[in-house]
Structure 1
Amino acid sequence: MGFEDRRFDVNLSILFTELPLLERPAAAAAAGFTAVELWWPWPDTPTPERSALHALKRAIEDAGVRLTGLNFYAGQLPGPDRGALSLPGEESRRFRANVDVAADFAGSLGCTALNALYGNRVDGVDPAEQDALALENLVLAARAADRIGAALLIEALNTAESPRYPLVSAPAAVEMADRVDAATGLGNAKFLMDLYHLSMNGEDLPRVIETYAARTGHVQIADNPGRGAPGTGSLPLEYLLDRLRKAGYDGWVGLEYEPGDRPSAEAFDWLPRRPPYREAPR
């Protein structure tokens, strides 16, 4: 088995960013993809104008692609922020204001996964206070995701790029998902297995796959070092995706890598030339 039997979606917040937001879904479709995912597309506001939401929804629908994943509001991404839900004060209030907006937008497009980034540690604030706030807000997010039939994703980042982010291992992210499930009783909190971040942390990726495939709601990939396309670094991504399939994961794999010094449309030469890549089962 190889890359050709995977269901890949394109993260339009890191690929095709040389284009305006509303042109990216069509560009992904032209490159052979049937599905896309996004970080929260309006980092300056958790509650954009209805016209902005409608315009993006129409661009996705007109392109004929499916939205498979969406981040809740997480501050400035890319940038210094790593999430908002555990930050006391204004940022957590902005997160809460975004929860139903993001869920309603995702639900209108049939999206089945919503990612809630935890947030950095804050100087002068007890980590236990941040953790309590995070759980409270993750419970709200899980309930909103459940309302539209979606999973709530909990992601581990890496210590080199996000030294103040507390969830920097697979066990830490899965433990948080378990805590959310215990608090809600919904069972919809899942692990977002980002193989790039986990590799940056030096984790044993085959062991992570074996241990946590059943708790995984979504997978993202980029090569390491460099966060480029598969084949630009040293991660055995084809082998790892085969391990995931054998472990029972058959969901989408998000392409969340940087295209390098070339247009994004030229950054898929590692893929078998068998578009589309592929439609989800209905």
Structure 2
Amino acid sequence: MSAVIPTVTRLSNRIIRILGCNPGPMTLQGTNTYLIGTGKNRILLDTGDKNVSEYQKNLQDVVQTEQVNIEHIVVTHWHHDHIGGVEDLYGTIAKQPKIWKHKRSDDDNKDDPLSLPIHWLSDGQQIEVEGATLKIHHTPGHTTDHVVLTLLEENIMFSGDCILGEGTAVFEDLYTYMKSLNKILDLNPNVIYPGHGNIVEDPIEKIEYYIAHRNLRENQILETLKNNADKQLTEMDLVRIIYTETPEHLWPAAAYNVNHHLKKLTKENKLKEIEVDGDRKWQYLVSSNL
């Protein structure tokens, strides 16, 4: 069982973690938000969900105790458990902050859930306050707008939902996610502060595990379909066969990831996709081993 994350934790003289108080199957104990800097003006990284009064009170208490101003709100990506609290904080706990987020890709047809003005992040950009310099790294895959940030003073990485404190992450696009994992590996952080879960003290081992895990899953999917070459299987069929150690309530998330592997393998002409009675199914292509 994972160690309990306190609602407020001073991680260093530069970083205070405030838990989003929004626990759930996908958010673990809740969203980790981080107040960063040593001076009067600070950066708030991520804001948890909308209308979570407990989180707002805890953040307000920290801001008052530290006697600081939130000058910048940086959002790692558009998901509600990271961006949802922005409008609750704007003009109240954060008086007039700049809101920063990366743009989505041109083919991403989802709407950004904010009516407030957004300053667009760019890869390699730096945001500075007293005692802290954050460098932006665009890491699509989990979402098209996802970024991780490195605190240059301590070589700490804030990984958002690319790397979690426990378990593995879901993604929208496996190809770009794998590229982002390798990009994160090349950054060689000393420690990772994730968007969910506890601090990752062995970041290189964790990142390499994530990469190996996805490769393993892909091999398992391909081998399962190869061993059942006369059958056509859905994502959930594959989850039931492969994810034997995963709790059943997480199977839909597992099926979501399996679907991305299936799409990748289909593009590589290793599988064929078939519609059977309205369901999408996949079958091993015998010729794929030639």
Q: TM-score range by the shorter chain?
A: 0.3 to 0.5
TM-score of the pair, normalised by structure 2: 0.32
Which structure ranks higher in relative contact order (CA pairs < 8 Å, sequence separation ≥ 6)? 1
TM-score of the pair, normalised by structure 1: 0.32
* More strand, by proportion: 2
Q: Kindly name which structure, 1 or 2, has the bigger radius of gyration based on alpha carbons.
A: 2
* More helix, by proportion: 1
